[in-house]
Amino acid sequence: MKDDEIRWGILGCGDVTEVKSGPAFDHIDGSRRVAVMRRDGEKARDYAERHGVPRWYSDADDLIADPQVNAIYIATPPDSHAEYTLRAARSGKPVYVEKPMARTHGECERMIDACRDADVPLFVAYYRRRLPTFLKARELIEDGAIGDVRFAGVTLVGPPAPDHLNGELPWRVLPEISGGGLFFDVGSHQLDLLDFLLGPIESARGHAVNQAGWYPAEDAVSASFAFESGAIGNGIWCFTLSPGSTIDRTDIVGTQGRITFSTFGLDQPLTLVRENGQSEEFLLPPPTHVQEPLIQTIVDALNGRGSCPSTGVSAARTSKVMDCVVASRT
C-alpha cells in the first residue's frame, strides 16, 4: 500500500464516528472515507449523505468486498470486532478497530493471528497514546523528571449514566456484547495508558462485583498489578456513587516526584510535582477530532513513512490484564 491513497470503509457508523474519528479520515493527506456500513440502511445512508461519503451499505461483507475500499475501520460494538477483523484480513485489507479490541484476550489472539497470516496490519483505537497531555507525561517520565517510577495509581469513580438505569440497557453494560461493564469500556483506556507510559504489565489480579444490581455487568472493580519494569500499581473503578462523587485521577509516582492527570478530562492540566515540592502544570488541549493524531500515524505506517503506537499486539496486552482482573467476577 506504500504511496497509495488510503481509502477507508467504516463498519458501524455510530456516535464515535460523528466527531471523534470519522472526519479525521478526510482531514489527513492521502486518506479519505469512501464507504460506510450500518445494519440499519437508512442510518447508513443518512450518515453518508451528511458526511459526503460516496457509498453506503447495510451488509458488512459488501463493504469489505468493495474494490474502492483498501482499509477497514471497525467501529461496531466489541462482540463483532473479531469476526469483522477476520473477514477483512481474508480480503487482504488492513484493519483499524475500536477499543476495547475485543471481548476477551482469546478473541484478540485470533485477530492478531488472522492479520499476521494474511500479512495485513492491525491497529486499535487507543488514541490517547497520541494526545498532547499523555505525550507530555511520557516525555517527563523518560527525561527523569520524577526519577525512577515506583508506583502508579488509578481512580475512576462516579455515578451511573442515566441510560444505565432506565429503559433498554446500552450494550456497554451487557457482557455478552461488551465483554464486561464500564471497566472494559473506559477502564481499558487507563490501563492502555499505563502500558504506554510505563511499559507492559507483567501480572494482575483483582475483584469485580456487581454492587447495585442495575445491569448484568460488574459495576465496581479493584485491581493490583506489577509492571515488567519493577514498578507496581493499583486501581479502583466504581460506578454506583452519587453525581458529586466523581474522581478521575491517575498518579505516576517516582523517586523524585509525581505526575498527576485526568484520563477523560482532556481540558484539565497535567501536574508535575518535583521532590522539592514545586509544582508545574501543563494544559495541552486535544484536537477537535481526538482520534486524528493516531489515525495520522496509521496512514503514515500504511504508506511506509512511520509507525503507529497502538497495534493489535499492544492492545491485546490490555485485554489480557482486564481478563485477569475480572477473573473472580461475581
Mean pLDDT of 82-103: 98
Instruction: For residue 208, give the nearest of 309, 322, 301 by alpha carbon.
Output: 322
Mean pLDDT of 55-82: 98
Over the stretch 176-227, which tens digit does the pLDDT of each residue have? Answer: 999 999 999 999 999 999 999 999 999 999 999 999 999 999 999 999 999 9
What would the grid cell of residue 171 be?
450494550
Give the Cβ contact number of residue 256 at 10 Å.
Answer: 13
pLDDT at residue number 249? 98
C-alpha to C-alpha distance for 257 and 268, rounded to whole angstroms? 20
Residue 275 C-beta-side C-alpha neighbours within 13 Å: 9
Over the stretch 239-250, which tens digit does the pLDDT of each residue have? Answer: 999 989 999 999
Residue for grid cell 496509521: 298
Mean pLDDT of the chain: 96
pLDDT at residue number 1? 61
Over the stretch 277-327, which tens digit does the pLDDT of each residue have? Answer: 999 999 999 999 999 999 999 999 999 999 999 999 999 999 999 999 999
Instruction: For residue 228, give the nearest of 260, 261, 193, 201 by alpha carbon.
Output: 201
- φ/ψ of 18, rounded to 5, equals -70, -45
C-alpha to C-alpha distance for 202 and 186, rounded to whole angstroms? 21
- Superfamily of domain 6-127+290-312, CATH level 4: NAD(P)-binding Rossmann-like Domain (3.40.50.720)
pLDDT at residue number 167? 75
Residue for grid cell 447508513: 44
What would the grid cell of residue 327 be?
477473573
C-alpha to C-alpha distance for 57 and 45, rounded to whole angstroms? 8
For the chain, the domains span 6-127+290-312, 133-285
Instruction: For residue 314, give the nearest of 139, 155, 128, 94 by alpha carbon.
Output: 128
The domain defined by 133-285 carries CATH number 3.40.190.10: no
pLDDT at 36 over 90: yes
Residues 6+ apart with CB under 8 A from 274: 145, 146, 256, 257, 280
C-alpha to C-alpha distance for 119 and 94, rounded to whole angstroms? 9
CA–centroid distance for 190 within its chain: 9
Quick one: pLDDT band at residue 2, thresholds 50, 70, 90? low
